A and B are shown apart, each in its own frame.
Chain A
Protein backbone atom coordinates (compact mmCIF):
# COMPACT_ATOMS: atom_id res chain seq x y z
CA UNK A 1 0.00 0.00 0.00
CA UNK A 2 2.74 2.42 0.95
CA UNK A 3 4.61 1.58 -2.25
CA UNK A 4 1.45 2.26 -4.20
CA UNK A 5 0.94 5.67 -2.57
CA UNK A 6 4.57 6.59 -3.14
CA UNK A 7 4.44 5.67 -6.81
CA UNK A 8 1.20 7.63 -7.17
CA UNK A 9 2.96 10.65 -5.65
CA UNK A 10 5.85 10.25 -8.08
CA UNK A 11 3.60 9.99 -11.12
CA UNK A 12 1.46 12.88 -9.95
CA UNK A 13 4.57 15.02 -9.58
CA UNK A 14 5.90 13.94 -12.99
CA UNK A 15 2.59 14.89 -14.56
CA UNK A 16 2.71 18.27 -12.83
CA UNK A 17 6.16 18.88 -14.38
CA UNK A 18 4.98 17.80 -17.82
CA UNK A 19 1.84 19.90 -17.66
CA UNK A 20 3.62 23.00 -16.33
CA UNK A 21 6.23 22.67 -19.07
CA UNK A 22 3.60 22.44 -21.78
CA UNK A 23 1.76 25.33 -20.16
CA UNK A 24 4.83 27.54 -20.64
CA UNK A 25 4.72 26.81 -24.37
CA UNK A 26 0.99 26.66 -25.03
CA UNK A 27 -0.49 28.57 -22.12
CA UNK A 28 1.95 31.42 -21.59
CA UNK A 29 3.26 31.80 -25.12
CA UNK A 30 0.25 30.57 -27.09
CA UNK A 31 2.13 27.97 -29.15
CA UNK A 32 -0.04 24.87 -29.23
CA UNK A 33 1.88 21.60 -29.05
CA UNK A 34 0.53 18.10 -29.53
CA UNK A 35 3.89 16.36 -29.27
CA UNK A 36 5.02 17.08 -25.73
CA UNK A 37 5.54 13.38 -24.96
CA UNK A 38 8.42 13.31 -27.44
CA UNK A 39 10.47 15.57 -25.16
CA UNK A 40 9.47 13.53 -22.11
CA UNK A 41 10.78 10.51 -24.01
CA UNK A 42 13.93 12.27 -25.13
CA UNK A 43 14.80 13.13 -21.54
CA UNK A 44 14.00 9.58 -20.44
CA UNK A 45 16.13 7.88 -23.09
CA UNK A 46 19.02 10.32 -22.74
CA UNK A 47 19.15 10.07 -18.94
CA UNK A 48 18.73 6.29 -19.01
CA UNK A 49 21.58 5.73 -21.47
CA UNK A 50 23.86 8.14 -19.63
CA UNK A 51 23.19 6.43 -16.29
CA UNK A 52 23.81 3.03 -17.80
CA UNK A 53 27.07 4.30 -19.23
CA UNK A 54 28.13 5.13 -15.69
CA UNK A 55 27.33 8.81 -15.25
CA UNK A 56 26.10 9.89 -11.79
CA UNK A 57 22.32 10.11 -11.44
CA UNK A 58 22.21 13.88 -10.96
CA UNK A 59 24.33 14.50 -14.05
CA UNK A 60 22.16 12.17 -16.11
CA UNK A 61 19.04 14.02 -15.02
CA UNK A 62 20.54 17.40 -15.86
CA UNK A 63 21.80 16.23 -19.24
CA UNK A 64 18.47 14.58 -20.00
CA UNK A 65 16.76 17.93 -19.46
CA UNK A 66 19.43 19.62 -21.59
CA UNK A 67 19.08 17.18 -24.48
CA UNK A 68 15.28 17.53 -24.41
CA UNK A 69 15.65 21.33 -24.35
CA UNK A 70 18.04 21.15 -27.29
CA UNK A 71 15.55 19.09 -29.25
CA UNK A 72 12.91 21.64 -28.22
CA UNK A 73 15.10 24.36 -29.69
CA UNK A 74 15.40 22.47 -32.97
CA UNK A 75 11.67 21.76 -33.16
CA UNK A 76 10.90 25.34 -32.18
CA UNK A 77 13.20 26.57 -34.91
CA UNK A 78 11.66 24.30 -37.50
CA UNK A 79 8.15 25.44 -36.59
CA UNK A 80 8.81 29.18 -36.29
CA UNK A 81 6.87 29.94 -39.43
CA UNK A 82 3.83 27.79 -38.74
CA UNK A 83 1.01 29.00 -36.57
CA UNK A 84 -2.03 27.69 -34.76
CA UNK A 85 -3.71 24.72 -36.49
CA UNK A 86 -0.63 24.01 -38.56
CA UNK A 87 1.56 24.19 -35.49
CA UNK A 88 -0.69 21.64 -33.77
CA UNK A 89 -0.36 19.28 -36.72
CA UNK A 90 3.39 19.83 -37.05
CA UNK A 91 4.08 19.14 -33.37
CA UNK A 92 1.87 16.07 -33.58
CA UNK A 93 4.09 14.99 -36.47
CA UNK A 94 7.17 15.52 -34.30
CA UNK A 95 5.65 13.11 -31.78
CA UNK A 96 5.13 10.45 -34.43
CA UNK A 97 8.60 11.03 -35.87
CA UNK A 98 10.11 10.54 -32.44
CA UNK A 99 8.26 7.26 -31.95
CA UNK A 100 9.07 6.03 -35.43
CA UNK A 101 12.72 6.86 -34.93
CA UNK A 102 13.08 5.30 -31.49
CA UNK A 103 11.27 2.10 -32.49
CA UNK A 104 13.72 1.48 -35.31
CA UNK A 105 16.94 2.18 -33.43
CA UNK A 106 18.93 -0.83 -32.33
CA UNK A 107 20.98 1.21 -29.85
CA UNK A 108 17.76 2.48 -28.20
CA UNK A 109 16.45 -1.03 -27.83
CA UNK A 110 13.88 -0.76 -30.61
CA UNK A 111 10.37 -1.85 -29.61
CA UNK A 112 11.65 -3.32 -26.34
CA UNK A 113 13.15 -0.10 -25.12
CA UNK A 114 15.87 0.27 -22.53
CA UNK A 115 15.99 -1.96 -19.45
CA UNK A 116 18.12 -2.27 -16.35
CA UNK A 117 18.36 1.42 -15.73
CA UNK A 118 20.05 1.85 -12.35
CA UNK A 119 17.79 2.84 -9.48
CA UNK A 120 19.83 5.11 -7.23
CA UNK A 121 17.06 6.06 -4.80
CA UNK A 122 14.53 4.39 -2.54
CA UNK A 123 10.83 4.79 -3.41
CA UNK A 124 10.62 7.48 -0.76
CA UNK A 125 13.71 9.14 -2.16
CA UNK A 126 12.14 9.28 -5.63
CA UNK A 127 8.92 10.69 -4.20
CA UNK A 128 10.83 13.45 -2.44
CA UNK A 129 12.87 14.20 -5.56
CA UNK A 130 9.82 14.28 -7.82
CA UNK A 131 7.79 16.48 -5.50
CA UNK A 132 10.80 18.76 -5.04
CA UNK A 133 11.23 19.00 -8.80
CA UNK A 134 7.54 19.72 -9.28
CA UNK A 135 7.64 22.45 -6.64
CA UNK A 136 10.71 23.98 -8.30
CA UNK A 137 8.78 24.08 -11.56
CA UNK A 138 5.81 25.67 -9.86
CA UNK A 139 8.19 28.35 -8.61
CA UNK A 140 9.75 28.77 -12.06
CA UNK A 141 6.33 28.98 -13.61
CA UNK A 142 5.11 31.60 -11.15
CA UNK A 143 8.27 33.63 -11.64
CA UNK A 144 8.06 33.35 -15.42
CA UNK A 145 4.53 34.71 -15.37
CA UNK A 146 5.61 37.72 -13.30
CA UNK A 147 8.76 38.40 -15.32
CA UNK A 148 8.95 40.61 -18.40
CA UNK A 149 9.44 37.44 -20.40
CA UNK A 150 6.02 36.29 -19.22
CA UNK A 151 4.58 39.63 -20.24
CA UNK A 152 6.11 39.32 -23.70
CA UNK A 153 4.76 35.75 -23.95
CA UNK A 154 1.27 37.14 -23.33
CA UNK A 155 1.76 39.66 -26.10
CA UNK A 156 3.10 37.03 -28.49
CA UNK A 157 0.14 34.78 -27.67
CA UNK A 158 -2.28 37.62 -28.32
CA UNK A 159 -0.80 39.16 -31.48
CA UNK A 160 2.64 38.23 -32.71
CA UNK A 161 2.79 40.84 -35.46
CA UNK A 162 1.73 43.67 -33.18
CA UNK A 163 4.40 42.58 -30.69
CA UNK A 164 7.10 42.70 -33.36
CA UNK A 165 6.19 46.28 -34.28
CA UNK A 166 7.15 47.13 -30.67
CA UNK A 167 10.67 45.83 -31.18
CA UNK A 168 10.05 42.34 -29.77
CA UNK A 169 11.97 39.57 -31.52
CA UNK A 170 9.02 37.18 -31.31
CA UNK A 171 10.95 34.24 -32.77
CA UNK A 172 13.57 34.37 -30.00
CA UNK A 173 10.86 34.43 -27.35
CA UNK A 174 9.02 31.49 -28.88
CA UNK A 175 12.28 29.54 -28.83
CA UNK A 176 12.74 30.40 -25.17
CA UNK A 177 9.27 29.06 -24.43
CA UNK A 178 10.03 25.87 -26.32
CA UNK A 179 13.38 25.34 -24.60
CA UNK A 180 12.08 26.01 -21.09
CA UNK A 181 8.97 23.88 -21.54
CA UNK A 182 10.70 20.94 -23.20
CA UNK A 183 13.58 20.96 -20.69
CA UNK A 184 10.98 20.58 -17.92
CA UNK A 185 9.60 17.56 -19.79
CA UNK A 186 13.10 16.15 -20.23
CA UNK A 187 13.80 16.44 -16.52
CA UNK A 188 10.57 14.59 -15.74
CA UNK A 189 11.57 11.95 -18.30
CA UNK A 190 14.89 11.35 -16.54
CA UNK A 191 13.17 10.72 -13.23
CA UNK A 192 10.61 8.48 -14.89
CA UNK A 193 13.30 6.30 -16.46
CA UNK A 194 15.06 5.75 -13.15
CA UNK A 195 11.87 5.16 -11.21
CA UNK A 196 10.62 2.44 -13.53
CA UNK A 197 14.01 1.04 -14.49
CA UNK A 198 12.58 0.24 -17.91
CA UNK A 199 11.36 2.48 -20.71
CA UNK A 200 9.55 1.53 -23.90
CA UNK A 201 8.61 3.77 -26.83
CA UNK A 202 4.88 3.40 -26.19
CA UNK A 203 5.16 5.32 -22.93
CA UNK A 204 5.76 8.45 -25.01
CA UNK A 205 3.05 8.08 -27.62
CA UNK A 206 0.33 10.37 -28.88
CA UNK A 207 -2.01 9.35 -26.05
CA UNK A 208 0.58 10.61 -23.59
CA UNK A 209 0.79 13.94 -25.44
CA UNK A 210 -2.99 14.30 -25.44
CA UNK A 211 -3.08 13.40 -21.74
CA UNK A 212 -0.62 16.19 -20.92
CA UNK A 213 -2.56 18.65 -23.04
CA UNK A 214 -5.78 17.58 -21.31
CA UNK A 215 -4.19 18.34 -17.92
CA UNK A 216 -3.27 21.82 -19.08
CA UNK A 217 -6.64 22.58 -20.65
CA UNK A 218 -8.74 21.04 -17.87
CA UNK A 219 -6.69 22.92 -15.28
CA UNK A 220 -6.93 26.20 -17.14
CA UNK A 221 -4.53 27.07 -19.90
CA UNK A 222 -2.10 29.75 -18.70
CA UNK A 223 -2.80 29.35 -14.98
CA UNK A 224 -0.03 27.72 -12.93
CA UNK A 225 -2.26 26.67 -10.04
CA UNK A 226 -5.02 25.53 -12.38
CA UNK A 227 -2.60 23.37 -14.38
CA UNK A 228 -1.21 21.95 -11.14
CA UNK A 229 -4.74 20.96 -10.10
CA UNK A 230 -5.49 19.58 -13.57
CA UNK A 231 -2.40 17.38 -13.49
CA UNK A 232 -3.24 16.01 -10.05
CA UNK A 233 -6.86 15.41 -11.01
CA UNK A 234 -6.06 13.56 -14.21
CA UNK A 235 -3.42 11.50 -12.40
CA UNK A 236 -5.95 10.31 -9.87
CA UNK A 237 -8.83 9.75 -12.28
CA UNK A 238 -7.55 6.52 -13.89
CA UNK A 239 -6.66 5.25 -10.41
CA UNK A 240 -10.15 5.88 -9.06
CA UNK A 241 -11.99 4.71 -12.14
CA UNK A 242 -10.33 1.76 -13.81
CA UNK A 243 -12.27 2.12 -17.04
CA UNK A 244 -10.63 5.51 -17.66
CA UNK A 245 -7.39 3.71 -18.36
CA UNK A 246 -8.95 1.61 -21.12
CA UNK A 247 -10.52 4.57 -22.90
CA UNK A 248 -7.91 7.21 -22.13
CA UNK A 249 -7.72 8.79 -25.57
CA UNK A 250 -11.51 8.82 -25.88
CA UNK A 251 -12.18 10.22 -22.43
CA UNK A 252 -9.38 12.78 -22.40
CA UNK A 253 -10.23 13.83 -25.94
CA UNK A 254 -13.87 14.33 -24.96
CA UNK A 255 -12.81 16.16 -21.82
CA UNK A 256 -10.58 18.46 -23.88
CA UNK A 257 -13.39 19.33 -26.25
CA UNK A 258 -15.92 19.79 -23.44
CA UNK A 259 -13.69 22.18 -21.51
CA UNK A 260 -12.81 24.16 -24.62
CA UNK A 261 -16.49 24.41 -25.48
CA UNK A 262 -18.03 25.21 -22.09
CA UNK A 263 -15.29 26.47 -19.82
CA UNK A 264 -12.29 27.63 -21.87
CA UNK A 265 -10.38 28.74 -18.78
CA UNK A 266 -10.76 25.33 -17.14
CA UNK A 267 -10.67 24.73 -13.39
CA UNK A 268 -8.88 28.04 -12.87
CA UNK A 269 -11.76 29.81 -14.59
CA UNK A 270 -14.33 27.96 -12.49
CA UNK A 271 -12.42 28.85 -9.32
CA UNK A 272 -12.40 32.51 -10.34
CA UNK A 273 -16.16 32.35 -10.97
CA UNK A 274 -16.80 30.81 -7.56
CA UNK A 275 -14.56 33.37 -5.87
CA UNK A 276 -16.39 36.21 -7.58
CA UNK A 277 -19.77 34.72 -6.66
CA UNK A 278 -18.74 34.37 -3.02
CA UNK A 279 -17.43 37.93 -2.90
CA UNK A 280 -20.53 39.47 -4.47
CA UNK A 281 -23.03 37.45 -2.44
CA UNK A 282 -23.89 39.15 0.88
CA UNK A 283 -22.18 37.20 3.64
Chain B
Protein backbone atom coordinates (compact mmCIF):
# COMPACT_ATOMS: atom_id res chain seq x y z
CA UNK B 1 0.00 0.00 0.00
CA UNK B 2 1.29 3.44 -0.93
CA UNK B 3 1.83 5.96 1.87
CA UNK B 4 -0.28 8.52 0.05
CA UNK B 5 -2.73 7.87 -2.71
CA UNK B 6 -4.87 10.48 -4.44
CA UNK B 7 -7.42 9.65 -7.13
CA UNK B 8 -8.97 11.91 -9.69
CA UNK B 9 -8.22 15.14 -7.80
CA UNK B 10 -9.63 18.30 -9.32
CA UNK B 11 -9.97 21.91 -8.29
CA UNK B 12 -11.03 25.04 -10.12
CA UNK B 13 -10.37 28.64 -9.07
CA UNK B 14 -12.86 30.88 -10.78
CA UNK B 15 -12.36 29.83 -14.37
CA UNK B 16 -8.90 28.31 -13.90
CA UNK B 17 -8.84 24.52 -13.83
CA UNK B 18 -5.66 24.38 -11.71
CA UNK B 19 -5.65 20.62 -11.08
CA UNK B 20 -7.63 18.32 -13.34
CA UNK B 21 -8.12 14.67 -12.53
CA UNK B 22 -4.72 13.97 -11.00
CA UNK B 23 -3.87 10.44 -9.84
CA UNK B 24 -0.79 10.28 -7.68
CA UNK B 25 0.71 7.65 -5.41
CA UNK B 26 3.63 8.34 -3.11
CA UNK B 27 5.47 5.21 -2.03
CA UNK B 28 6.98 4.75 1.41
CA UNK B 29 10.59 5.84 1.54
CA UNK B 30 10.80 7.50 -1.85
CA UNK B 31 11.96 11.00 -2.68
CA UNK B 32 9.56 12.03 -5.39
CA UNK B 33 10.58 15.01 -7.50
CA UNK B 34 7.55 16.94 -8.75
CA UNK B 35 8.38 19.22 -11.65
CA UNK B 36 6.55 21.16 -14.30
CA UNK B 37 6.44 24.60 -15.88
CA UNK B 38 5.06 27.68 -14.05
CA UNK B 39 1.36 27.42 -13.44
CA UNK B 40 1.32 23.65 -13.96
CA UNK B 41 -0.54 23.18 -10.68
CA UNK B 42 2.27 21.82 -8.49
CA UNK B 43 1.63 24.15 -5.58
CA UNK B 44 -2.09 23.62 -5.85
CA UNK B 45 -1.60 19.85 -5.75
CA UNK B 46 0.53 20.17 -2.60
CA UNK B 47 -2.09 22.40 -1.01
CA UNK B 48 -4.83 19.92 -1.93
CA UNK B 49 -2.89 17.10 -0.31
CA UNK B 50 -2.27 19.00 2.93
CA UNK B 51 -5.79 20.38 3.14
CA UNK B 52 -5.01 24.08 2.65
CA UNK B 53 -7.27 23.88 -0.40
CA UNK B 54 -10.37 21.69 -0.63
CA UNK B 55 -10.73 19.51 -3.70
CA UNK B 56 -13.83 19.89 -5.88
CA UNK B 57 -13.59 16.19 -6.67
CA UNK B 58 -11.42 13.18 -5.94
CA UNK B 59 -10.23 11.25 -2.91
CA UNK B 60 -7.05 11.27 -0.85
CA UNK B 61 -5.87 8.36 1.29
CA UNK B 62 -2.95 8.64 3.68
CA UNK B 63 -1.58 5.47 5.18
CA UNK B 64 -4.84 3.71 4.40
CA UNK B 65 -7.10 6.37 5.95
CA UNK B 66 -9.43 8.49 3.87
CA UNK B 67 -8.41 12.08 4.63
CA UNK B 68 -10.31 13.73 1.79
CA UNK B 69 -12.50 15.66 4.21
CA UNK B 70 -10.02 16.04 7.07
CA UNK B 71 -9.03 19.63 7.92
CA UNK B 72 -5.42 20.73 7.49
CA UNK B 73 -4.53 20.47 11.18
CA UNK B 74 -5.79 16.89 11.38
CA UNK B 75 -3.72 15.87 8.36
CA UNK B 76 -0.67 17.50 9.93
CA UNK B 77 -1.23 15.47 13.10
CA UNK B 78 -1.43 12.29 11.06
CA UNK B 79 1.98 13.07 9.66
CA UNK B 80 1.60 15.28 6.61
CA UNK B 81 3.85 18.33 6.67
CA UNK B 82 4.48 21.00 4.07
CA UNK B 83 6.58 24.06 3.40
CA UNK B 84 5.18 27.09 1.62
CA UNK B 85 6.54 28.27 -1.70
CA UNK B 86 5.92 31.84 -0.56
CA UNK B 87 7.44 31.77 2.91
CA UNK B 88 5.01 32.26 5.78
CA UNK B 89 6.94 32.59 9.02
CA UNK B 90 5.18 33.89 12.13
CA UNK B 91 6.61 37.30 11.56
CA UNK B 92 6.79 38.72 15.07
CA UNK B 93 8.44 35.60 16.46
CA UNK B 94 12.11 34.75 16.36
CA UNK B 95 13.42 31.94 14.22
CA UNK B 96 13.82 29.72 17.29
CA UNK B 97 10.29 30.50 18.49
CA UNK B 98 8.87 29.60 15.09
CA UNK B 99 10.47 26.18 15.12
CA UNK B 100 9.84 25.62 18.84
CA UNK B 101 6.12 26.12 18.36
CA UNK B 102 6.10 23.35 15.78
CA UNK B 103 8.27 21.15 18.01
CA UNK B 104 5.72 21.55 20.81
CA UNK B 105 3.01 19.92 18.69
CA UNK B 106 2.22 17.31 21.32
CA UNK B 107 1.33 20.07 23.79
CA UNK B 108 -0.38 22.42 21.36
CA UNK B 109 -2.65 19.60 20.18
CA UNK B 110 -4.41 19.88 23.58
CA UNK B 111 -5.45 23.46 24.39
CA UNK B 112 -5.95 22.79 28.09
CA UNK B 113 -2.44 21.40 28.40
CA UNK B 114 -1.19 24.37 26.39
CA UNK B 115 -2.91 26.75 28.80
CA UNK B 116 -1.38 25.11 31.85
CA UNK B 117 2.15 24.61 30.58
CA UNK B 118 4.82 27.24 30.22
CA UNK B 119 8.03 25.17 30.02
CA UNK B 120 9.85 25.81 26.77
CA UNK B 121 12.89 23.60 27.47
CA UNK B 122 12.14 20.44 25.49
CA UNK B 123 10.78 22.26 22.45
CA UNK B 124 13.69 24.71 22.50
CA UNK B 125 16.20 21.86 22.56
CA UNK B 126 14.50 20.06 19.69
CA UNK B 127 14.33 23.30 17.71
CA UNK B 128 17.99 23.92 18.46
CA UNK B 129 18.94 20.56 16.97
CA UNK B 130 16.96 21.29 13.83
CA UNK B 131 18.47 24.75 13.40
CA UNK B 132 21.86 23.09 13.75
CA UNK B 133 21.07 20.60 11.00
CA UNK B 134 19.73 23.35 8.78
CA UNK B 135 22.85 25.43 9.51
CA UNK B 136 20.90 28.49 10.65
CA UNK B 137 21.74 28.45 14.36
CA UNK B 138 23.38 31.87 14.14
CA UNK B 139 19.98 33.40 13.28
CA UNK B 140 18.09 31.69 16.13
CA UNK B 141 17.31 34.86 18.07
CA UNK B 142 16.50 37.05 15.10
CA UNK B 143 12.96 38.14 14.23
CA UNK B 144 11.64 35.89 11.47
CA UNK B 145 10.54 38.81 9.30
CA UNK B 146 14.06 40.26 9.22
CA UNK B 147 15.78 37.09 7.98
CA UNK B 148 17.21 36.71 4.48
CA UNK B 149 14.98 34.69 2.15
CA UNK B 150 17.37 31.74 2.14
CA UNK B 151 17.10 31.49 5.93
CA UNK B 152 13.32 31.89 5.86
CA UNK B 153 13.17 28.98 3.41
CA UNK B 154 15.06 26.83 5.86
CA UNK B 155 12.86 28.09 8.70
CA UNK B 156 9.91 26.70 6.72
CA UNK B 157 11.69 23.37 6.50
CA UNK B 158 12.67 23.35 10.15
CA UNK B 159 9.08 24.02 11.20
CA UNK B 160 7.78 21.26 8.95
CA UNK B 161 10.29 18.68 10.16
CA UNK B 162 9.66 19.67 13.77
CA UNK B 163 6.16 18.18 13.70
CA UNK B 164 7.82 14.80 13.02
CA UNK B 165 6.00 14.04 9.77
CA UNK B 166 5.92 10.78 7.84
CA UNK B 167 5.49 12.60 4.57
CA UNK B 168 7.15 15.93 3.89
CA UNK B 169 5.93 18.03 0.97
CA UNK B 170 8.48 20.68 0.05
CA UNK B 171 7.39 23.49 -2.28
CA UNK B 172 10.48 24.96 -3.91
CA UNK B 173 12.74 24.86 -0.84
CA UNK B 174 15.81 25.69 -2.93
CA UNK B 175 14.48 28.82 -4.63
CA UNK B 176 16.25 31.89 -3.33
CA UNK B 177 19.34 29.98 -2.23
CA UNK B 178 22.70 30.33 -3.96
CA UNK B 179 24.27 27.28 -5.62
CA UNK B 180 26.31 26.19 -2.63
CA UNK B 181 23.42 26.64 -0.21
CA UNK B 182 21.05 24.84 -2.59
CA UNK B 183 23.40 21.88 -2.90
CA UNK B 184 23.84 21.64 0.89
CA UNK B 185 20.11 21.81 1.53
CA UNK B 186 19.46 19.24 -1.20
CA UNK B 187 22.02 17.00 0.54
CA UNK B 188 20.12 17.41 3.79
CA UNK B 189 16.82 16.55 2.09
CA UNK B 190 18.44 13.41 0.66
CA UNK B 191 19.81 12.51 4.09
CA UNK B 192 16.43 12.95 5.77
CA UNK B 193 14.99 10.72 3.07
CA UNK B 194 17.62 8.06 3.66
CA UNK B 195 16.79 8.21 7.37
CA UNK B 196 13.27 7.12 6.49
CA UNK B 197 11.29 10.26 5.74
CA UNK B 198 9.20 10.11 2.59
CA UNK B 199 9.55 13.33 0.60
CA UNK B 200 7.74 15.04 -2.25
CA UNK B 201 9.99 17.74 -3.64
CA UNK B 202 8.51 20.44 -5.88
CA UNK B 203 11.45 22.23 -7.42
CA UNK B 204 12.51 24.17 -10.49
CA UNK B 205 16.19 23.54 -9.84
CA UNK B 206 16.30 20.50 -12.12
CA UNK B 207 19.97 19.74 -11.56
CA UNK B 208 19.40 19.22 -7.84
CA UNK B 209 16.10 17.38 -8.31
CA UNK B 210 17.66 14.96 -10.77
CA UNK B 211 20.57 14.48 -8.40
CA UNK B 212 18.58 13.50 -5.30
CA UNK B 213 15.11 12.33 -6.43
CA UNK B 214 14.43 8.60 -6.59
CA UNK B 215 11.56 9.18 -9.02
CA UNK B 216 10.22 12.04 -11.07
CA UNK B 217 6.68 13.19 -11.76
CA UNK B 218 5.98 15.81 -14.41
CA UNK B 219 2.89 18.01 -14.29
CA UNK B 220 1.66 20.16 -17.14
CA UNK B 221 -1.51 22.23 -17.21
CA UNK B 222 -2.99 20.67 -14.11
CA UNK B 223 -2.43 17.05 -15.15
CA UNK B 224 0.28 14.43 -14.75
CA UNK B 225 2.24 14.13 -17.98
CA UNK B 226 4.87 11.57 -17.05
CA UNK B 227 6.31 9.60 -14.17
CA UNK B 228 9.39 7.43 -13.78
CA UNK B 229 13.15 7.46 -13.33
CA UNK B 230 14.63 10.92 -13.82
CA UNK B 231 16.81 10.28 -16.82
CA UNK B 232 14.10 8.41 -18.68
CA UNK B 233 11.45 11.02 -18.05
CA UNK B 234 13.73 13.84 -19.16
CA UNK B 235 14.45 12.07 -22.45
CA UNK B 236 10.78 12.05 -23.43
CA UNK B 237 9.82 14.38 -26.22
CA UNK B 238 6.56 15.55 -24.67
CA UNK B 239 8.31 16.50 -21.43
CA UNK B 240 10.96 18.46 -23.31
CA UNK B 241 8.29 20.18 -25.36
CA UNK B 242 6.37 21.18 -22.23
CA UNK B 243 9.50 22.76 -20.82
CA UNK B 244 10.73 24.39 -23.99
CA UNK B 245 7.27 25.81 -24.46
CA UNK B 246 7.93 28.09 -21.53
CA UNK B 247 11.10 30.10 -22.11
CA UNK B 248 13.88 27.77 -20.94
CA UNK B 249 12.64 27.51 -17.36
CA UNK B 250 13.99 23.96 -17.52
CA UNK B 251 17.44 24.93 -16.35
CA UNK B 252 16.11 26.48 -13.19
CA UNK B 253 18.21 29.56 -13.89
CA UNK B 254 16.91 33.06 -13.46
CA UNK B 255 14.42 31.78 -10.89
CA UNK B 256 16.72 32.11 -7.94
CA UNK B 257 15.16 35.25 -6.57
CA UNK B 258 11.59 34.02 -6.79
CA UNK B 259 9.83 33.26 -3.52
Contact = CB atoms under 8 A, between A and B. Distances in A.
Contact of B73 (A143, A154, A170): A170
B118 A152 contact: no
B101 A158 contact: no
Interface string A226-239: 00000000000000
Residue in A147, A164, A167 whose Cβ sees the most chain B Cβ within 10 Å: A167
Given A165-B81, A167-B163, A148 B93 contact: no
A152 B50 contact: no
Contacts, number: 94
Interface stretch (B5-13, B103-111, B191-199, B227-235): B103-111
Contacts of A165: 50, 52, 72-73, 76, 81-82, 84, 160
B148 interface: no
Given A165-B50, A166-B76, A167-B76, A154 B92 contact: yes
A148 B107 contact: yes
Nearest to A153: B114
B172 interface: no
Nearest to A145: B118
Report, as a range, how many residues of chain B touch the other chain. 35 or more
B205 to A, nearest CB: 23
A148 B118 contact: yes
B173 to A, nearest CB: 15
A162 to B, nearest CB: 4
Contact of A147 (B51, B88, B92, B118): B118
For the complex of A and B, list the 6 residue pairs with the smallest distance between their C-beta atoms, beginning with the closest. Answer: A167-B76, A148-B114, A158-B90, A149-B114, A162-B88, A149-B115
Interface of B: 50-52, 71-74, 76-77, 81-82, 84, 88-93, 97, 100-102, 104-105, 107-109, 111, 113-118, 159-160, 162-163
Interface of A: 143-144, 146-149, 151-152, 154-155, 158-159, 161-170, 172-173, 176
